[in-house]
Structure formats: C-alpha cells, structure tokens
C-alpha cells in the first residue's frame, strides 16, 4: 500500500515504517558524532521509550558512548484492519534492529506501563537479561488516562488553567490554520485527576516495585522529564493543571532520592526545553510560543531537539562526574538556553506579532510542522513515499 500522511487536527493517523526507521537512523548518526557519554550506565530501563524523549534517551545511551543494554516499555498500536499502526511501533522495531547490529540488547515490552502485569513482566526481564539489576530508570510516560489500580476506573487528565479562564491559540497541523479559543478553568476534580495521570505517583510505584524485587543496582539513578517554561506560557502550563502535575513530579523526585540514597543512587526531575512532541501539540497556547522559540534559537545557534538534549543530559550532566548539577529545587535544567534573557526577549516580541495571517511567514512554522511529520516517519528526502509498502515484509526484515 501507499502510505501518506493523514492528520486530523493535531493528531497523526498514519505512520510510515521506512520513514520511522530513517528517523531512528538520524538520531543514531547524531549521537555517534556528538560528545560521548564516558561514564554512563550499562543496564537501562526506559518506561515510555518508543518516541520523544524516551526514544532519544534510549538512543543516546546505546549509541552515544555508554553502550548500554536497554529494556523499553511502550503501549503502541501495530498494523490492523483499523490502520497501519503507530510510529512508536515502527520506532521500536528499527531501534532493536540497529542496536542488535552493534551487539547491544534491546528488549521491547509491549503493554500498559500503569498495569501491575507489565511491572511484573519487566522485573522478570531484568532478571533474565540484566542479571537482576538496573543502573538507570527513565520514566517518560505521556498518557491522557490512567486506571485506578484499586478500582479499575479511569483517571483522565485535563489541560486547563486553574482559577481563571484563559484564551490561547492552537495551530491545526491538518490544514495549517490558527484557531483561538477560550479554555475554562479546571474543576478541583479535573486538577486532581491530572495529577494522578501526569504526576509522580506511577513513577514512584515503578521504583518501589523494583526496590521490592531487589532489582536496583548499587548507584542506580532514576529520572523523569518535566517542563516549566517562561512567564509567557505560565497561565496555561505552569499555573494550570499540567503545572500542578509537574510540581507533584518534582516532589516525587525528592522522596525517590531518599529511597535510592540507600543504594548510593539518586532521583532527579529533568526540566527540558519546549519541543514538538506528540504531547506538546495538544497544549493550547503553546504552539505559537514554540514556533517563535524555534526561529529565535535557530538564529542564535542554540536550538536543540530531543536527541541533542538527551545526549547533552547524559554526557554533560547526569554522568559527567560524581555530583549531578542541579538548581536550588534539585532540578536538572536542560532549559537554560531556552530561558536565556535575550532569547526570551526576542521570543516575546515575536509572539506579540503573530496572528492567523502571518504565523507561517514570521515564525518557524515550517520547522515545527517538519518535526511533526518526522515524528511519524514523513518528510524525509531519502524515503520514496510513492513506493508501495509491504508492512509485513518490513516487520519480518527488521526483526
């Protein structure tokens, strides 16, 4: 079949297997020539390793100097009569193929990371492949729902402001259009459910499960990814339901740090810069900021994507020495270039100028959409998109 990009609003409904493979290869090529990770971990668990920061972290640690073996958990759709499957499904296949070429273990576990059964399956895999212990646990789960482990009922996140309604613009990738809408303030229940889904509770449940199963190696560390952003985005992000969840995540890092201190390890929330991810395109008001930020940071030569940030995180911060550099709240800051005063001044000026008529020309909307297409395996010049794809052949060829 011919696979073309199909976008509904800000959701990609198709993914191209060979394009996803190309995206993985580009990340591998980058980390091989970047500053190497000289003191990295050897046995890594990534909870949510099929795309975005999780996949980039897995790639950096495997190919960027540490030569780590990895177990990744993800909940991805394979091909069926309902569609061609998700990009993460093909990313997993391509990553495993290339890691095994270089003699690295790459175990892909398909399932709901929130479930007890998947946690049990991971413990068994650690026992089987890692001699029972992990050196690093990366928590990179992006989900809109989470089941209550006691009742099975679903908690659902809500991306909303708190205490007051907020207006913001969303860019529809489907037709390159600008839509302004008003978001009503979240109820207390919506805020609490968002914390349950996107806060630190499940991260702590994972680490507790690994501690209880004696799967924690001496010196083991764990990280989870966060975002804070500048004052411009605070009404919808930091001061909203998402911000409440991230604060809970940050607090969880402190309790986990105390637990891992028993193993001479540590836990850190890692604050990354704003990027195009499958999650970020949903956040109202954030797209105009991102396209302005991309333009300014590319002009200044400070722009980083997921893979550049993850390679720098591990080579310069988390594994650069015995002491991990953190701010006064014990956060690892990867957003320092984004929050540079001159950068933010230029971004604010540009955002003030953007509207429905000029956003494609004044800011870096082209780069924004290109990254979104790349996330789903489209937009690569060396992939022949007019050629029919035999998905079963692709899967069998790369497995």
Q: Please give the average per-residue pLDDT across 245-271, as a whole number.
A: 97
What confidence tens digit (pLDDT) does each residue in 94-103 have?
999 999 999 9
CA distance 75 to 147: 14
Q: What is the predicted pLDDT for the residue at 34?
A: 98
The confidence score (pLDDT) of residue 167 equals 86
Residue 351 in marked binding region:
no
Q: Which residues contact 164 (CB under 8 A, 6 or more apart)?
A: 185, 235
Lowest-pLDDT range, 42-46, 174-178, 282-286, 288-292? 282-286
- 350 within 8 A of 363, measured Cβ to Cβ: yes
The kind and range of the H/E element at 367 are: helix 365-375
Cβ neighbours for 263, distance < 8 A, ≥ 6 positions apart: 216, 217, 218, 219, 220
> Annotation-wise, does 6 bind a ligand?
no
Domains and CATH numbers, the chain: 7-160+193-282+302-335+383-394 (3.40.50.720)
* Element spanning 121, H or E: helix 116-129
- Is 278 annotated to bind a ligand? Reply is no
The answer on pLDDT for 397 being more than 80 is: no
Percentage of the chain exceeding pLDDT 70: 99
What angle separates helix 116-129 from helix 201-212, to the nearest 10 degrees? 40
pLDDT at 285: 81
**Rounded to an integer, what is the distance from CA 274 to the centroid of its chain?**
11
pLDDT of residue 398 exceeding 60, the answer is no
pLDDT tens column, 273-303:
999 887 788 787 889 999 999 999 999 999 9
Residue recorded with tokens 């479930």: 115
DSSP string of 263-294, one letter each residue: GT-EEEEEEPPP---TTGGGSTTHHHHHHHHH
The answer, yes or no, to whether residue 14 has pLDDT greater than 60, is yes
pLDDT of res. 277: 80
123-153 burial, b at 16+ Cβ within 10 Å, e below that, comes to: bebbeeebeebbbbbbbbbbbeebeeeeeee
Give dist(CA 307, CA 52) in Å, integer: 9
Tokens of 134: 């992990």
User: Which residues are 103's β-sheet partners?
Assistant: none
30 known ligand binder: no
49 is in an annotated binding site: yes
Tell me if 82 is assigned to a ligand binding site.
no
318 is in an annotated binding site: no
Residue pair 70/44 in contact by the 8 Å Cβ criterion: yes
- The per-residue pLDDT for 297 is 98
Confirm or deny that 48 is annotated as ligand binding.
yes
- Per the CB < 8 A criterion, the answer to whether 206 and 47 are in contact is yes
**CA gap 287, 353 in Å, rounded:** 14
**Euclidean distance between CA atoms 6 and 142, whole angstroms:** 22
Q: Is 289 a known active-site residue?
A: no
Binned at pLDDT 50, 70 and 90, residue 60 comes out as: very high
Give yes or no for residue 343 having a pLDDT over 80: yes
> Is 0.85 topped by the overall pTM?
yes
pLDDT at 82 over 90: no
- Residue 81's pLDDT band, with cuts at 50, 70 and 90, is confident
299: CB partners within 8 A, 6+ apart? none
Between strands 331-333 and 43-47, the pairing is: unpaired
What confidence tens digit (pLDDT) does each residue in 115-169 have? 999 999 999 999 999 999 999 999 999 889 999 988 889 999 998 999 999 888 8
Q: How far apart are CA 151 and CA 294, in angstroms?
A: 43
Confirm or deny that 83 is annotated as ligand binding: no
Question: Residue 152 in contact with residue 233, Cβ under 8 Å?
Answer: no
Measured distance CA(34)–CA(60) in Å, rounded: 10
Q: Which of 237, 268, 294, 319 is catalytic?
A: 237
């Amino acid at each position: 079949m011919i696979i073309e990009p199909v976008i509904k609003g800000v959701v990609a409904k198709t993914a191209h297997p060979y394009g996803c493979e190309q995206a993985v290869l580009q990340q591998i090529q980058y980390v091989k020539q970047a500053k190497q990770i000289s003191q990295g971990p050897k046995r890594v668990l990534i909870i949510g390793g099929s795309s975005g920061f999780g996949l980039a972290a897995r790639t950096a640690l495997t190919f960027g100097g540490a030569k780590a073996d990895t177990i990744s958990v993800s909940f991805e759709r394979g091909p069926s009569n309902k569609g061609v499957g998700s990009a993460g499904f093909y990313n997993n296949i391509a990553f495993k193929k290339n890691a095994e070429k270089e003699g690295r273990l790459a175990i892909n576990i398909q399932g709901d990371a929130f479930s007890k059964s998947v946690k049990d399956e991971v413990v068994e895999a650690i026992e089987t492949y890692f001699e029972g212990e992990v050196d690093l646990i990366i928590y990179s789960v992006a989900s809109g729902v989470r089941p209550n482990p006691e009742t099975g009922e679903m908690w659902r996140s809500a991306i909303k402001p708190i205490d007051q309604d907020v207006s913001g613009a969303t860019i529809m990738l489907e037709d390159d259009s600008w839509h302004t809408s008003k978001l009503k303030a979240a109820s207390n229940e919506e805020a609490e459910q968002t914390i349950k889904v996107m806060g630190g509770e499940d991260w702590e449940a994972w680490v507790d499960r690994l501690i209880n199963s004696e799967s924690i190696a001496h010196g083991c560390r764990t990280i989870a990814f966060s975002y804070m952003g500048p004052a411009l985005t605070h009404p919808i992000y930091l001061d909203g339901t998402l911000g409440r969840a991230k604060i809970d995540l940050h607090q969880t890092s402190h309790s986990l740090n105390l637990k891992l201190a028993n193993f001479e390890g540590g836990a850190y929330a890692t604050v990354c810069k704003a990027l195009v991810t499958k999650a970020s395109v949903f956040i109202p008001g954030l797209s105009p900021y991102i396209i302005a930020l991309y333009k300014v940071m590319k002009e200044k030569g400070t722009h980083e994507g997921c893979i550049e940030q993850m390679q720098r995180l591990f080579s310069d911060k988390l594994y650069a020495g015995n002491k991990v550099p953190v701010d006064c709240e014990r956060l690892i800051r990867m957003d320092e270039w984004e929050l540079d005063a001159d950068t933010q001044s230029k971004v604010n000026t540009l955002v003030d100028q953007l509207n429905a008529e000029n956003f494609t020309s004044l800011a870096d909307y082209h780069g924004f959409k290109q990254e979104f297409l790349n996330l789903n395996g489209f937009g690569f010049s060396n992939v022949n998109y007019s050629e029919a794809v035999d998905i079963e052949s692709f899967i069998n060829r790369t497995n």
